[in-house]
Structure 1
Amino acid sequence: MKYVMYVIIIFLPCFSNANITLENMYYDLSSSIEKYQIANSDKDSAIYVKVVIKEASFHGDKLVEKALDDETEILVSPQRLVIPPLAMVPFRVIRKPTDQFKLYRVYFTPVSAGDLNVAMGNSDDKTVKSGLNLRIGYGTIFFSNPDKQVFDTRVIQLSKESFVLENRGNSLVTLRRMSYCQQDGTCKDNAVEYLLPGQSKTLPRNSFVADVLEGKSRTVQLFEAQLKVGKI
């Protein structure tokens, strides 16, 4: 069984003097086990990192998190990492198949050298400095689509000024290469946004959405002249 998982990187302020980075901004996990890498761009200090996973959901525009009901549902291995200076280390994402859309937030956060050594059964490691040297931590959002995907993206409201795009399917929809300006004068160009199942988005009538991406098989270009209420 296969499923799709997308990852969005969200930057979280932490401490100072070092950086951790992931290879890409977005990931597509198409098998039960995938391997990625995390890097340390600091040339002097190793970084100690632990991984914490939360189940997440949107209540309106607010992202709400809670502990996993089943801790084996999604795993990042190893859950504690030591990243040497200017090095990359691998980690794996292991995910059970699901019959519904899932959302997770995964934190890569700093820990002290002592805490990590105790957790790993090693109290003699003197080759690294304190894990509190981390300047930027990472929180990642994992979108996991069900094995049987259903796509139903619709324009549900249409006026002279705006339209509402709604995802009535059970899987993530990606809006790519978007260009539009709001009434307050703020503009976006070549933006990428997402519609989770059940979510809707109001856009100005003159918006240009080059791609409404439903999975990997269907892409719809959305222009003002083509707008009509109903399934796109």
Structure 2
Amino acid sequence: MKSLLSLLGLCLFAHAAHAGPSINVGVVYDYLDGDKSTYLKRIFNGGTSTAFVKVEVLEILYDEQGVAKEVPLQTQLDSSARDGLMASPARLIVPANGLQGTRLVFLGERNNERYFRVRYIPVVPEKEDAFAVTEEEREAYQSTLQAGVSVLAGYGTVFFVRPKDTRYDTRIENSGAQYALHNNGNSVIEVDEFKNCVVGKADDCHPTTKNHVLPGRTFSFDKEAGREYRFKLVEGQASKDQVVKG
């Protein structure tokens, strides 16, 4: 299965670098619980000039082999089809050293878990972008950026929409040579802060990882003598520390 980590990434939009907007979207994984339909996402601008941010949403679909692809939402193609994730507003004006929020709203059926890629893209406002600025303000902003060398950096996040009737059912198999977690529930679970270390040497470890296990999938690793494996098993709001000896 193509890792959800591969669906993330920093989208760099080189534009002109001593001053300019610099946005921060916080965590890159967000989760909408089964009893909620809206989620507030806050965007911080730590730069020295206003950030004009476009919010774009794509749905992540998996085929039978677990390969992911991103597709446009039907709601973007047909305004009468209300099924998917929408950002309101989808255009943000974030002042320097300021904060703005967009509300992510899910409309449609919640029988199965669904996944979305949400992109937050700083732009130089154009007429067609629907930002509430005059032509004079747009030109002045563009001239300000062009006076220096600025990098407009956008971020992609992954948004999980849990089923309405969320059910967790994690099965563990701990054999002599391998450890496996099977997600038999209907919502994603996390193997968070996964550490593979030499026993008794907390500073002799492989890089720490975060892993998402989708419904019907398995996370496993081979156990090696003299090593221990520590992680948090996260099922929604519940988190359990796990230690596995090699």
Q: TM-score, normalised by structure 2?
A: 0.71
Unpaired segments ≥5 residues, structure 1: 1-7, 226-232
1:17-44 deviations in Å (ceiling 9; x for gaps): 442102445444443223232111111x
- Structure-to-structure mapping, 1:1-232, within 5 angstroms: 10-15=9-14, 17=17, 18-30=21-33, 31-43=36-48, 45-58=49-62, 62-71=67-76, 72=82, 73-96=84-107, 98-115=110-127, 119-120=130-131, 122-124=133-135, 126=137, 129-130=141-142, 133-155=150-172, 158=175, 160=177, 162-180=178-196, 187-189=206-208, 191-205=209-223, 206-217=227-238, 219=240, 221-224=242-245
Q: Post-superposition shift, 1:146?
A: 0.5
Root-mean-square deviation (CA, aligned residues, Å) is 3.3
Preserved CA contact (<8 Å) 1:20 1:40: yes
Secondary structure of 2:135's partner? coil
Tell me the number of residue pairs that the alignment of Structure 1 and Structure 2 aligns.
212
Q: In structure 2, do the counterparts of structure 1 residues 121 and 187 end up closer, same or farther at CA, with 3 Å as the change threshold?
A: closer
Deviation at 1:101, TM superposition (A): 0.6
Q: What SS does structure 2 have at the residue aligned with 1:113?
A: coil
Q: Partner of 1:129: helix, strand, or coil?
A: helix
1:223 alignment partner, SS class: strand
- Cα deviation, residue 198, structure 1: 2.4
Please, what TM-score do these two structures have when normalized by structure 1?
A: 0.74
Deviation at 1:66, TM superposition (A): 0.6
Query: How big is the shift at 1:199?
Result: 2.4
Q: CA deviation at 1:155?
A: 4.0
Equivalent-residue separation in structure 2 for 1:163 and 1:76 (angstroms): 40
In structure 2, the gaps of 5 or more residues are 1-6, 77-81, 198-203
